[in-house]
Structure 1
Amino acid sequence: MLLSAREGLLVVVDMQARLVPVLADPDSLSARVQFLLRAAAQLSVPVLASEQYPKGLGHTVQEVADYLPEGAVVQKMTFSAMREPAFREALETGGAGRRQAVVCGAETHVCVLQTAAELVAAGYATTLVADAVGSRRASDRTAGLDRLRDLGCQVATSEMVVFEWLERAGTDAFRRLAPLIK
Structure 2
Amino acid sequence: MSTHPAPMPLCQGGLSQLLIIDAQERLAAAMPTDELATAVGNMKRLLNAAKILDIPVISTEQYPQGLGKTLADIRDELPENATPTEKTSFSCCTAAGFERALTSQPARKQVVLVGMEAHICIVQTASGLQRWGYQVFVPADAICSRDPANRLNVLDRMRHCGIQVTNTESVAFEWIGDSTNDRFREVSRLFK
TM-score normalised by L of structure 1: 0.96
Partner SS state of residue 140, structure 2 = strand
Paired letter, 2:78: L
Is the counterpart of residue 66 in structure 1 residue 49 in structure 2? no
Partner SS state of residue 146, structure 2 = coil
Cα distance between partner residues in 2 of 1:2 and 1:84: 28
Map of 1:147 onto structure 2: 157
Could you list the runs of 4 or more consecutive aligned residues of structure 1 that deviate by over 3 angstroms after TM superposition? none
Match of 1:116 among 110, 121, 126: 126
Map of 1:18 onto structure 2: 26
Match of 1:4 among 6, 12, 28: 12
Cα distance between partner residues in 1 of 2:159 and 2:181: 33
Aligned identity (percent) is: 38
Partner SS state of residue 13, structure 2 = coil
Is the counterpart of residue 46 in structure 1 residue 47 in structure 2? no
Cα distance between partner residues in 2 of 1:34 and 1:21: 18
1:60-96 Cα shifts (integer Å, max 9, x gaps): 0000111111232111000001001301111111x34
Map of 2:100 onto structure 1: 89
Q: Compute the displacement of 1:137 (Å).
A: 0.7
1:79-128 Cα shifts (integer Å, max 9, x gaps): 001001301111111x3431001111100000011011111111001011
Structure 2 unaligned spans of 5+: 1-8
Cα distance between partner residues in 1 of 2:106 and 2:26: 32
Q: Compute the displacement of 1:169 (Å).
A: 1.2
TM-score normalised by L of structure 2: 0.91
Cα distance between partner residues in 2 of 1:121 and 1:171: 33
Partner SS state of residue 61, structure 2 = strand
How large is the RMSD of aligned CA atoms in angstroms?
1.1
